Protein backbone atom coordinates (compact mmCIF):
# COMPACT_ATOMS: atom_id res chain seq x y z
CA UNK A 1 0.00 0.00 0.00
CA UNK A 2 1.47 3.36 -0.98
CA UNK A 3 1.57 6.29 1.39
CA UNK A 4 -1.01 9.03 0.90
CA UNK A 5 0.80 12.25 0.04
CA UNK A 6 0.27 15.08 2.51
CA UNK A 7 -0.78 18.07 0.40
CA UNK A 8 -1.39 20.41 3.33
CA UNK A 9 -1.56 23.30 3.66
CA UNK A 10 -4.13 23.92 0.96
CA UNK A 11 -4.94 27.60 0.60
CA UNK A 12 -6.43 28.84 3.85
CA UNK A 13 -8.12 25.55 4.74
CA UNK A 14 -7.38 24.42 8.31
CA UNK A 15 -4.83 21.60 8.66
CA UNK A 16 -7.09 19.94 11.24
CA UNK A 17 -9.44 18.64 8.52
CA UNK A 18 -6.86 15.97 7.71
CA UNK A 19 -4.75 15.11 4.71
CA UNK A 20 -7.38 13.04 2.90
CA UNK A 21 -10.02 15.76 3.12
CA UNK A 22 -7.46 18.40 2.11
CA UNK A 23 -6.36 16.37 -0.90
CA UNK A 24 -9.88 15.55 -2.06
CA UNK A 25 -11.11 19.13 -1.67
CA UNK A 26 -8.09 20.31 -3.66
CA UNK A 27 -8.76 17.67 -6.33
CA UNK A 28 -12.28 19.11 -6.61
CA UNK A 29 -10.97 22.66 -7.04
CA UNK A 30 -11.72 23.77 -3.47
CA UNK A 31 -8.63 25.39 -1.97
CA UNK A 32 -10.02 28.27 0.09
CA UNK A 33 -12.66 28.95 2.70
CA UNK A 34 -14.40 31.24 0.22
CA UNK A 35 -14.72 28.28 -2.15
CA UNK A 36 -15.96 26.07 0.71
CA UNK A 37 -18.67 28.67 1.44
CA UNK A 38 -19.91 28.32 -2.15
CA UNK A 39 -20.98 24.73 -1.34
CA UNK A 40 -23.56 23.20 0.98
CA UNK A 41 -22.58 20.70 3.65
CA UNK A 42 -24.36 18.00 1.63
CA UNK A 43 -22.30 18.82 -1.49
CA UNK A 44 -19.06 18.65 0.47
CA UNK A 45 -20.03 15.42 2.25
CA UNK A 46 -20.52 13.86 -1.19
CA UNK A 47 -16.77 14.26 -1.82
CA UNK A 48 -14.87 11.10 -0.91
CA UNK A 49 -12.75 11.71 2.18
CA UNK A 50 -14.77 14.65 3.50
CA UNK A 51 -16.73 13.56 6.55
CA UNK A 52 -18.64 15.09 9.45
CA UNK A 53 -15.45 15.93 11.37
CA UNK A 54 -14.05 17.94 8.43
CA UNK A 55 -17.42 19.66 7.97
CA UNK A 56 -17.45 20.71 11.65
CA UNK A 57 -13.87 22.02 11.49
CA UNK A 58 -14.54 23.86 8.24
CA UNK A 59 -17.75 25.30 9.73
CA UNK A 60 -15.79 26.76 12.66
CA UNK A 61 -13.21 28.23 10.28
CA UNK A 62 -15.95 29.71 8.11
CA UNK A 63 -17.66 31.29 11.13
CA UNK A 64 -14.36 32.76 12.32
CA UNK A 65 -14.04 34.59 8.99
CA UNK A 66 -17.68 35.67 8.75
CA UNK A 67 -18.59 33.06 6.12
CA UNK A 68 -21.05 30.18 6.19
CA UNK A 69 -22.01 27.18 4.12
CA UNK A 70 -24.35 27.70 1.16
CA UNK A 71 -27.93 26.83 1.98
CA UNK A 72 -29.03 23.55 0.36
Q: Tens of pLDDT along 7-66?
A: 556 789 999 999 999 999 999 999 999 999 999 999 999 999 999 999 999 999 999 999
Q: What are phi and psi of 3, to 5 degrees?
A: -75, 145
Tell me whether the omega of the peptide bond preceding residue 52 falls within 30 degrees of 0, making it cis: no
Three-class secondary structure of residue 15 per DSSP? helix
Model confidence, pTM: 0.86
Q: What is the pLDDT of residue 17?
A: 96
Q: What is the pLDDT of residue 63?
A: 97
In the chain, the domains with their CATH numbers are: 16-64 (1.10.150)
Q: What is the pLDDT of residue 4?
A: 60
Amino acid sequence: MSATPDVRPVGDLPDAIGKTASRELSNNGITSLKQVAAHSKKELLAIHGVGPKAIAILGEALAATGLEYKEP
